[in-house]
Amino acid sequence: MEPFSKMHTNRAFVSVVAVALTLAGSAWADSAPALDLRLNQDTWVDTTARNGGNGDFVYDDVVSGATALLDYRVTVFPSSVSVLGFSFDITNTSTTTQIYTLTSAIAVDAMPAGCLLGASIGGSVTDANFDGSASLTSAFGNPLFWGGLDFGGPAPLQLTSLINAPFNIAAPFAGGTASVGPESIGLPGPSAPGAAFGAGYQSVALRFALSAGDRASFTGVFVLQPVPAPAALATIAFAGLASRRRRR
């Protein structure tokens, strides 16, 4: 496959993609991290984050390989809550149905006392080649949205899933579009309880099969917030009690 090059278009063609944000502790709040894009065995690094206007880092562009384009927008919010927002646009340019794995990840600190999480996904599937048939279906029993830690690593930890298998979403007519979802958990929030974990990569994986020549678009977010450790909760409770005593 040829090396990636930047292109500017409103369409995206992708096979198997992995997107990873490399962040180190709190330093990413002071300088933009690098964004790695992976398409099969090829990689491309985006170091051109722009200010989204709310103190967030925004990455958006189109990258191309020999047989694929990926139109992406990834947003990272620097705060005590780890927020990964994404928007991806994908078109199958082959002549057969293809199975896709599209992932995004940001480094996250350990949450040893557990976490609160929120996640959402929504989108569409479109008959982009006007052949009267377009479908987005589940692949190998996987949910459309997987949220957790270290997807693709030796010990991934699933924290949540959305639009579970089996699903089969079809465009209603030639050139038509059908909605995907939306579905969410723990939002607004985050408020859904999640397991404890060590430092790693907060990951989203989208897995699905898409019919030949057709287009799928996805937008969503995955949020993690640490639950205070028991010692921290005791400190907070003591501070609140002391404050009430002073007011008396």
What's the pLDDT tens digit per position in 150-161?
988 899 999 999
Domains: count for the chain:
1
Quick check: 126 pLDDT over 80? yes
Q: What is the pLDDT of residue 220?
A: 93
SS3 call for 172? coil
Amino acid at 20: A
**Pick from 213, 207, 68: which is nearest to 133 by CA?**
213
CA distance 54 to 51: 7
CA distance 123 to 210: 13
SS3 call for 150? coil
Q: Hey, how many other C-beta atoms are within 10 angstroms of the C-beta on 145? A: 25
The dihedrals phi and psi of 131, each to the nearest 5 degrees, come to -95, 5
CA distance 210 to 99: 6
Report the chain's terminal Cα–Cα distance, integer Å: 73
What's the pLDDT tens digit per position in 33-50?
666 555 544 566 777 777
CB-based contact 220:86 (threshold 8 Å): yes
Q: Give the domain extent around 56.
A: 5-247
What's the pLDDT tens digit per position in 47-94?
777 777 777 788 787 766 545 567 888 787 766 788 889 988 888 888
Determine if the pTM surpasses 0.85: no
CB-based contacts of 241, cutoff 8 Å, min separation 6: none
Confidence class for position 95, pLDDT limits 50, 70, 90:
confident
Q: What is the DSSP-derived secondary structure letter of residue 28?
A: G
Least confident of 10-19, 49-58, 200-209: 10-19
CB-based contact 156:202 (threshold 8 Å): no
Sequence length of the chain is 248
CA distance 78 to 57: 8
SS3 call for 233? helix
